[in-house]
Every structure is written in C-alpha cells, then in structure tokens.
Chains A and B, each alone.
Chain A
Amino acid sequence: MEERVVFVQGNGACVEGALYAGLGFFAGYPITPSTEIAEILAARLPRQGGRFIQMEDEIASMCAIIGGSLTGHKVMTATSGPGFSLMQESLGYAIMAEIPCVIVNVQRGGPSTGNPTHVGQGDVNQARWGTHGDHSIITLSASTHQDLFAMTVHAFNMAETYRTPVILLLDEVIGHMREKLVIPEAGVLPVVDRLRTAVKRGVDYHPYLPREDGRLPMSDFGGDHRYNVTGLYHDMWGFPSSNPKVVGSLLNHLVEKIETSVHDITRYKERYLDDAEVVLLSFGSAARSALHTVENRRRRGDKLGYFELQSIWPFPSGLVREKLRKARRIVVVEMNKGQVTAQVKAAVEKPERVFLANRIDGELISPTNIATILRIIQGKGV
C-alpha cells in the first residue's frame, strides 16, 4: 500500500492503524462514542478478507475475539465505559490464558451510564485494575490522530509480543474529532506477526512453556497441535493445576513479563523539559490543551515543559521520576479526579510538587482552564 493522506475521526484513525497492523477479526457491540469503529470495520473488513461480527453484548464481543485470536487472527473490539465494565471478566481470561487481543475504550463520562456523548478520562484505574485478581496490563493512549495510528499499531505489536490483551484508552474528543492523518506505506512502521511454534505435528507441544527469551510461541486452533486453554491456573500443557508451585510461578510470569518490559512498552513525548520550571504532564485529548498552554507560555518566556504519556500502564515510574527531577512544579492535566496524578506522586521525589489540573464536567479541559489552575497553584490568585 502506498502512503495515503486522509481526513478522519480518531475512531477512523484507530481503524486505519488496526488494518495496517493486520487486524483480521473484529467483534463488537454498539456504544457511544466508539460505535464508528465498528461501523467502519463492518464495511472494510469483509472487503479485505477479514471478519466482522456484531455480537449480542460486550461480554460476547470480548469472548468472540479471544476465540478469533486462538485460530490465529489479529483481533480487536471497541467499546466505552459501560461496555468496558462488562468485558472485565473475559479480559481477565485473556490475561490468564495469554491470548493476544486489543480492546479499544473510547472513554466517556462515568460512572454508570454517565455522560455518553461527552468526554472523560475516568477509566485509567479501571484499565489497570478492572478485572479481579493480581495481574499486569498494557494500556496505551494518544493525543493526535497520527499518534493514534502509531499507538494502535504498537498495541497490536505489544499484544503479540507479550501474548496479552492491550487496552487502547482513548476518549470522546479524540474519537470524534476530525484531523489529518498520513497513513504510511506498508513497512514503514514495524508490525509484529504472530509467533507460531516450530514444533512439528505429532511432537509434544507445550503451549505454556516459555522459550529462553520468555516468549510463548502459539499454535492455531485447527492446526497441528491439540491443546487445552483455560482460565484456571494451568501447567505448561494448559491443564488445570492447583499445585502451589504452578500457581505461584504462573502469576509471577503473568506480572513480570510486562513489568520487566516497561522500557520496551513505554511511549511518551516531551518538550522543553531541560529548563522547565513547571511541567504539564498529560495524556489523550487533555494533552492537546496542555501542549497548547505550554507553547503559548513559552512564547512569553515562561519556562513551561510538556510531558505526554502515550503508555499509561505499566506506569513508567522510573522514566517519570527522571524526566521530572528538575521541575519545581509538576501539574498533571487530566479529566478525572486525579488517577494519573496519584501515580506521578508515587513516582517522583518530593511529591508535594505534584498538582492536579482537571475538569470533570464532560467538557474538554481548555487552555484557559489550565491557565486559571496554574495561577492558583503559583499563588497568583484567580
């Protein structure tokens, strides 16, 4: 495919990234503000040899993509808060059974039905801890359509590399806003393909025995090896086990494969950090207002810096600590009650430097909102 320039919604940019990464199977259920992802794929996937199905609910959608991944396809579903809540049980299944898949959550205001057509960023902690039990998870975000395209490809790459679900945490503004997108030629962005076992038919294949590099080669359902997949603790054959050694080592494996790879997973953007006295740290659509504020104030000579998290989980604590070491004040701009702020406070030295600049009423936080909060933080009055 040649390079193409398009003008699309963020939901459309996400679709382009997914197709670039090799999406072959999508199952979903309509929910604002993510529905366009399903609508576009319903038209596009069948034409490209892929499969699209609208399931009876979000629970079934998540289950269906796990099934689709097991036959060897790259799979995705897309939803918003209430649907994401329904997916949590099967998300845990995909973590436990180590099934690569991508879940897009175009966030709206919550809790409950909340504010369906308005923006929110309140699902940060749900992405991390929504499913029960200890686990680790990869969660990515983006503030522009070009970044969203790249992060969608990265999401699929991480899902395949670590055999794990990856959450793409977008929001209503990013999902519905229209912006230019340059779709690169095939081959420009790296695409990680499914790692399949080299074990021949008839030879014992251990689906859950990691290679030396820690990766677990897969075998497609319907292919050469018949094995068991379960959400129970399981041994290297995939068979249920409550042997304490098996249980303990599997849980450690599930967590460590992600936590020890934080450098490989992490994506971020930074500007003017070298001399910044005040750093605005943000993600998603809120980061657009944060960046606007930083650029404007720089022109006036104010030493503001910008740090954008494109990967939120695993939280890059070491990187955040290092990058924000010199800042006198760190202002986290987010549209929730401080979910990322708490992570930043835990990561940096002198956490009393960390402040929250938020908006939680369903409207996009604006540069004016940020300016007002900065004045209060800096003791300049309103």
Chain B
Amino acid sequence: MGTRDFIRERFFPHMWCPGCGHGTVLNCLIRAVESLGLDKSQIVMASGIGCSARISGYVDFHSLHTLHGRALAFATGVKFSQPALTLIVPMGDGDALAIGGNHFIHAARRNIDVTAIVMNNRTYGMTGGQYSPMSLMGDCGTTAPMGTLERPFDAVKLATAAGATFVARTTTYHAREGISILKRAIAHKGFSMVEFLSQCPTQYGRRNGLADAPSMLEYFKTHTVPIGSEKAQEDPNILERGIFVDEDRPEYCESYAAMVQKMAPSSGDGGAL
C-alpha cells in the first residue's frame, strides 16, 4: 500500500492555512502507519476540536471527531470496548492540556494503549490566536496583547509524571525523526505521548516575530536539540527532542483481561448490594 491509500483524497484540499505544520504531522503519521504495515480497518483515530482535530477527517481510518478536550475519553471507550483496535489520538495543545488536561493525565495514569499526539503550536489557532497553556511566558496572543503572564506546561514532564510509558518530543522541522518516533509510539504497548511542535505562522508566528513558516521551522531547528545535549542545560529556551520514556508496564486492557481470567464465573446475583 502507498501512503495515498491512507488518506481520503476526496476531502482534500485540507482546511489548514498555507505554512501550517499540521500537514507535516499528517504526512509523518501516514508514513509511520504505512511502514508499520497496519491494516487501516483496525485503526481508529479520535480527535477533539480545533485545527489539529480536523486531521481525523483526512485519514481513511475509522474516524471519530469528538468534543473539545475529550478525545482521549472517547478513545478510552473505543479501545477498552474493542482492545484489538489501534487508537491514535491527535490533539492540539489547548485541546490536550487545557480543557482536556484531566483526561490527558488519567489516560496516562491508566496506561491504556492509545497513542496521543500533541500537535503543539502554542496557540488556539482556529479561534484566532489566543494564548494557550503551551504559549511561552511573554508570548503575545489576542487574549495576551501585552504577552502572557503564565508559564507553559512541559508536556513531556507532565506525561512522564502522570505515568505515560512512552514519552517523546519532535518537531515538524525534524520530519524523518517524527516518522520514526511515531512508529515507535504507535507500536508501543501502553499509553504513548508524542509532543509534536508544529508551526502556526498565521496566528502565533505573526504575533511573535516569526511571521512565516520558514522562520518558524528555522526556530525549531535552532531551539531544539537531541536529548542529553549540553546546550539544553545551558539555555532554558532550548528544548530536548527524542524519546524520554519507553517502559514496559501492564497495559490497562490486558490487566482487565487478566482480572477476568481470575474471577469466578457468574454465580447468582454476585455483587448485589
């Protein structure tokens, strides 16, 4: 199968702005799925609301375009009710970490076998460029005309602390690395989280001195380094990329199946209160 077999061509062109990084994330994702040799009828993509969430309409999987922040809760229902399926959940940064923050940490804690991709463009793009929980301190947005006063989350540290068993970060500049990280994340048994820095020149870049896609990609190039690089220790504005966590711990659906094995078969009204 070629990569084109994984998209719904009749729904193109996509609705993302020129220069948007989300198409690159889609590209990396399709290539990762293709090279893993997965059956597209066994993949469910659940997404939330926002620019990022529209990605689920463009892929030829079972697609579930849900509510703002709730994609992981829907995905949990799909996965737990049919554990054979592969669940991929792309979300925006506001989607995953503001309104969806609670579902994010609990899906990680539960270690349910779902791949969460945080398409982090540090803004609410679809509603016009408001600051997000991933906007850097001082970043300007339509709701932070003087610059945001808040500190952003570190999605990698958040997912790690919440118990995610696979945690990684990459950027749209590093597309080949992105493909290989997504492959590892999807193949991982358990909750995997990939923070994918993605440029939004239209709503974020214009307000923050990076008015076009090349300058934003250049920023990703110069402001990220592989894990362990000394530069990251010296400069707090430089982020590490790569795989931070890759652990083997009991996956939720498998634990449930093991529990069922141990339970006595139904006897009368066992459990009646």
A positions within 8 Å CB-CB of B = 4, 6, 8-9, 11-12, 24-25, 27, 36, 39-44, 46-48, 51, 53, 55-57, 59-60, 63-73, 75, 89-90, 93, 220-224, 226-232, 239-240
Contacts and interface: CB of A to CB of B under 8 A. Distances in A.
A226 B80 contact: no
Contacts of A48: 266
Contact of B40 (A25, A43, A226): A226
10 contacts: A44-B271, A46-B259, A56-B102, A63-B67, A73-B81, A89-B67, A221-B62, A224-B41, A229-B64, A239-B57
Interface string B81-114: 1101100000000000000001100100000000
Interface centre among B73, B76, B263, B265 (most CB of A within 10 A): B73
B250 to A, nearest CB: 15
Contact of A64 (B76, B84, B265, B272): B76
A64 B70 CA distance: 9
A60 B73 contact: yes
Contacts of B30: none
B102 A93 contact: no
B273 A59 contact: no
Given A67-B76, A222-B41, A47 B270 contact: yes
Nearest to B59: A226
A90 B81 CA distance: 18
A65 B66 CA distance: 13
Interface of B: 11, 40-42, 44, 46, 56-57, 60-67, 70, 73-82, 84-85, 102-103, 106, 256, 259-260, 263-266, 269-273
Contact of B65 (A11, A89, A232): A232
A23 B245 CA distance: 38
B106 A60 contact: yes
Given A48-B266, A60-B73, A93-B67, 20 more contacts: A4-B269, A51-B256, A56-B103, A60-B103, A63-B77, A66-B77, A67-B74, A67-B80, A68-B78, A70-B78, A71-B78, A71-B82, A72-B82, A89-B67, A221-B82, A222-B84, A226-B61, A226-B62, A227-B63, A230-B57
B263 A51 contact: no
Contacts of A56: 73, 102-103, 106
A67 B47 CA distance: 12
A63 B66 contact: yes
Contacts of B85: 71, 221-222
Specify the main secondary structure of chain A where it touches its partner.
mixed
Contact of B63 (A63, A72, A229): A229
A233 to B, nearest CB: 12
Given A9-B273, A222-B41, A226-B60, A239 B77 contact: no
A158 B135 CA distance: 46
A224 B42 CA distance: 10
Interface centre among A25, A48, A67 (most CB of B within 10 A): A67
A300 B103 CA distance: 60
A27 B77 contact: yes
